[in-house]
Amino acid sequence: MERKRFDQQPCPIARAADLFGDWWVPLILREALYGVDQFNEFAERLDISKNILQQRLQHLVEAGIFERQLYCERPQRFRYRQTERGRSALQLLAAMAAWSNRWVFEEGQHPIELVDRRTGQVVEPVVPAARSGQPLQAAHLEMRPGPGFPSSPEIRAWRFGEGA
């Protein structure tokens, strides 16, 4: 069964889900945070079939999350290095880890902590609003069409209700 694609939807959440929504992708990115950058290391650490791993890595290269760097000519072997775009995905992974530590694991039982290398302090990510610097709160937010949303009145009405 082929999965539904969301890469053309006028929604940043749908497009991010299209890129990161496969369960292997965040795990591949996690391993990259641990310093893994070679195909065989990813395969071993994730216990993933090589054909699935190859597909996911190719997907991440095409999306500009990783770049392939040749490190051995015979046989050809590549390192998968995170690009700036890939490194910025840390924000997603950190938010997922913080949410999971709070809501999935018993208090004091979370298996991973994010630590600031400079200070040694455990950090818990918070998503602040750019202008106010205050943490985002669902009760204070609404979603509305942005400049790239389709101008079709039907699509706007479907997504945002009458008068959008």
Q: Which residues pair with 123 in a beta bridge?
A: 114
CA dist list (Å): 124 to 11, 43, 113, 139? 27, 29, 8, 21
- pLDDT above 90 coverage of the chain, percent: 44
User: What is the average pLDDT across 120-130?
Assistant: 85
Quickly state the pLDDT bin for 158 (edges 50, 70, 90). confident
Question: Which pLDDT score is estimated for 162?
Answer: 62
pLDDT in tens, 64-104: 999 999 999 999 999 999 999 999 998 899 989 988 988 99
User: What is the average pLDDT across 12-40?
Assistant: 91
The structure tokens 């500009």 sit at 64
Q: Which residues pair with 81 in a beta bridge?
A: 67
The rounded mean pLDDT for the chain is 89
CA distance 121 to 114: 8
Buried b (16+ CB within 10 A) or exposed e, 67-91: eeeeeeeeeeebbbebeeebeebbe
The angle that helices 12-20 and 24-33 make with each other, rounded to 10 degrees, is 70
What global pTM score does this model have? 0.81
- pLDDT above 70 coverage of the chain, percent: 96
**Which among 9-13, 23-27, 150-154 has the top mean pLDDT?**
23-27
Question: Which pLDDT score is estimated for 65?
Answer: 96
